[in-house]
Amino acid sequence: MIHLKSAREIELMKGASRIVAEILLELREQARQGMSTADLDRIAEDLIHKKKARPAFKGYRGFPACVCISINEEVVHGIPSSKRILKNGDIVGLDFGVIYDGYFGDAAFTVAIGEIPDHVRDLLRVTEQALYEGIKQALPGNYIADISAAIQKAAEAHHFGIVREFCGHGIGRALHEDPPVLNYAGNGKGPKIKPGLVLAIEPMINLGTEKVKVLDDGWTVTTLDGKPSAHFEHTIAVTPDGPEILTRV
Ligand code: MG
Burial class (CB in 10 A: 0-12, 13-18, 19+), 50: exposed
List, as ranges, residues with CB under 5 A of the ion ligand 1: 106, 200
Q: How far is the CA of 90 from the centre of ligand 1 (A)?
A: 22
CA of 168 to the centre of ligand 1 (A): 6
Distance of CA 220 from the midpoint of ligand 1 (Å): 15
pTM score: 0.98
Domain membership of residue 1 (yes or no) is no
Mean pLDDT of the 204-232 span: 98
What CA–CA distance (Å, rounded) separates 39 from 31? 9
For residue 134, how far is its CA from the centre of ligand 1 (angstroms)?
Answer: 14
Q: Would you say residue 46 lies in a domain?
A: yes
- Whether 55 maps to a domain, the answer reads yes
Residue 17: inside a domain: yes
CA 68/CA 212 separation, integer angstroms? 17
Q: How far is the CA of 68 from the centre of ligand 1 (A)?
A: 11
Using the predicted structure, report yes or no on whether residue 187 has a pLDDT greater than 90: no
Instruction: Over range 163-184, report the average pLDDT.
Output: 98
What is the rounded average pLDDT for all residues in the chain? 97
| Residue 2 in domain | no
Distance in Å, CA 140 to ligand 1 centroid? 22
CATH number of domain containing 57: 3.90.230.10
Centre of ligand 1 to C-alpha 175, Å, is: 8
240 belongs to a structural domain: yes
Residue 160 has pLDDT above 90, yes or no: yes
Give the count of beta carbons closer than 10 Å to the beta carbon of residue 62: 8
Which pLDDT tens digit goes with each residue over 17-35?
Answer: 999 999 999 999 999 999 9
Mean of the pLDDT values across residues 45-60? 97
- Asked if the structure places residue 131 within a domain, the reply is yes
Domain that residue 207 falls in: 7-245
229 part of a folded domain: yes
Q: How many domains does the chain have?
A: 1
